Each structure stands twice: as structure tokens, then as C-alpha cells.
């Protein structure tokens, strides 16, 4: 009887562990599927004859930004770009910064999509890493000349939402948030936060965004 109880406990332990692993495997696919969903919406823009007309390039860009807004957490992303300087800003400065930088980054992201999807051959979903509330989804954008452009999305799953939201982009191995954080930190240290805001406004007005 004792041996039977021992085997029963072992069986229950293995069963629970197996169920837990299965649950994790199911959950692990959700970030990728949500990135795939957003990517398919972007692909639909380029496949739509309406947006293929050159006269509608601005409308196409607006639609790309709309799709991005559905998936991106611009507030968290922009706050991360400011790094240690965020806590030093007033409520009004934070609001102004978020509004300005989100417009800056929306335009940037639209450029990235237009540049990479115009001559697109295929998109491959490479891998996914999930660590509690955070995930990283890697994809390869392959053009018609078989040139591969690696792109990664860092996402967060907030406690009050079932959606995974993008909080950073990794472009060919370079994290966007880290890249801008270094640039912004340098500007603020050498000059001021106001100077950073002026530079962002100037770049947006000129549409010379890199």
C-alpha cells in the first residue's frame, strides 16, 4: 500500500508538471501570434490597390501608423527612451515629451515598414522568448533579392490587459530604446531638456527623421 501511495504521488506530480509545461507552451505562442496579426494588417496595406497609387502615399503612411498604434505602448517606450531624466521632469514636460516623441517614433516606424515591405518577398517568424510579463519576438524580413533584415519586438503583458504591447524594437541587433536613450542623455547633459525638445520639433518639422 505504501508503494502504491508513492507511485500515485509520483504520477500526480508528473501529471501536474506536464500540464504546467503545456500551459506555458500555449501561452508562449500568444506574443508571436499578436505580432503576426499586426504584421498581416501591415501587409494588407501594401496589397491594397487603393494605397498603391502614389497620390495616396500620405494615406498609406497614416494607415501604417494606425496599425502601429494598436500594438505599441508608446507611453512606456517614450518614457524608457528618456531613462534617468524622466523622474526629473514636471507633469507638463512629461506630457509634452510623450506627445512629441511618439509622433517622432510613429513616423520613424512607418519609414521602416515602407522601406522593408515595398520590395518584400516573405516574413519568417524565427523565435519567441517569454519571461513572465515580458516577451521578445524575432522575425526576418526577406526582400526579393533574398537580403535578410532581422527585426525584433520586445513586448509587455500588463496585468489589466490580455494584449501584448510593443515597448521596444530591435533593428538588425540594435535596440531602439537604448539607442535613443544614449542620444537623449548626451543632449541633456551637454545642453538641456529644452534643447532636446527643440531638436525633436525641428526633426519632425523637416521630416528628416532617421
What residues does each domain of the chain span?
A: 2-206
Q: Name the pLDDT band for 206 (thresholds 50, 70, 90).
A: confident
CATH 3.30.70.270 is right for the domain spanning 2-206: no
- As a whole number of Å, the end-to-end CA separation of the chain is 73
Residue 210 has pLDDT above 90, yes or no: no
Strands (E), 22-173: 120-131, 134-143, 148-157, 164-171
Separation CA 14–CA 9 (nearest Å): 9
**All 3 cell numbers of residue 45?**
496595406
Spatial strand order in the sheet of 174-175: 120-131, 134-143, 148-157, 164-171, 174-175
Q: What's the confidence (pLDDT) of residue 162?
A: 81
Q: Tell me if residue 208 falls in helix, strand or coil.
A: coil
Q: What mean pLDDT do residues 37-47 have?
A: 97
Nearest alpha carbon to residue 67 among 114, 2, 130:
114
Q: By 3-state DSSP, what share of the chain in percent is helix, strand and coil, each rounded to 5? A: 65, 20, 15
Read off the pLDDT of each residue in 16-43 and give the average, rounded to a whole number.
Answer: 69
Q: Give the confidence band of 73 by pLDDT, cuts at 50, 70, 90.
A: very high
Any idea which of 16-30, 147-161, 163-177 has the lowest mean pLDDT?
16-30
Amino acid at each position: 500500500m505504501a508503494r502504491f501511495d508513492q507511485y500515485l504521488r509520483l504520477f500526480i506530480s508528473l501529471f501536474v508538471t506536464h500540464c504546467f509545461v503545456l500551459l506555458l507552451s500555449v501561452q508562449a505562442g500568444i506574443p508571436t501570434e499578436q505580432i503576426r496579426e499586426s504584421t498581416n494588417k501591415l501587409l494588407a496595406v501594401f496589397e491594397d490597390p487603393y494605397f498603391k497609387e502614389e497620390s495616396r502615399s500620405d494615406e498609406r503612411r497614416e494607415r501604417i501608423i494606425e496599425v502601429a498604434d494598436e500594438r505599441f505602448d508608446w507611453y512606456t517606450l517614450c518614457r524608457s527612451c528618456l531613462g534617468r531624466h524622466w523622474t526629473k521632469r514636471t507633469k507638463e514636460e512629461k506630457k509634452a515629451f510623450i506627445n512629441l516623441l511618439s509622433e517622432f517614433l510613429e513616423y520613424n516606424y512607418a519609414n521602416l515598414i515602407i522601406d522593408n515591405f515595398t520590395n518584400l518577398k516573405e516574413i519568417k517568424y524565427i523565435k519567441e522568448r517569454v519571461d513572465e510579463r515580458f516577451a521578445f519576438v524575432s522575425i526576418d524580413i526577406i526582400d526579393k533579392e533574398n537580403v535578410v533584415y532581422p527585426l525584433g519586438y520586445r513586448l509587455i503583458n500588463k496585468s489589466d490587459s490580455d494584449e501584448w504591447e510593443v515597448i521596444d524594437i530591435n533593428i538588425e541587433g540594435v535596440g531602439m530604446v537604448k539607442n535613443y536613450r544614449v542620444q537623449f542623455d548626451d543632449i541633456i547633459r551637454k545642453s538641456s531638456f529644452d534643447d532636446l525638445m527643440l531638436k525633436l520639433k525641428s526633426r519632425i518639422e523637416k521630416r528628416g527623421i532617421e
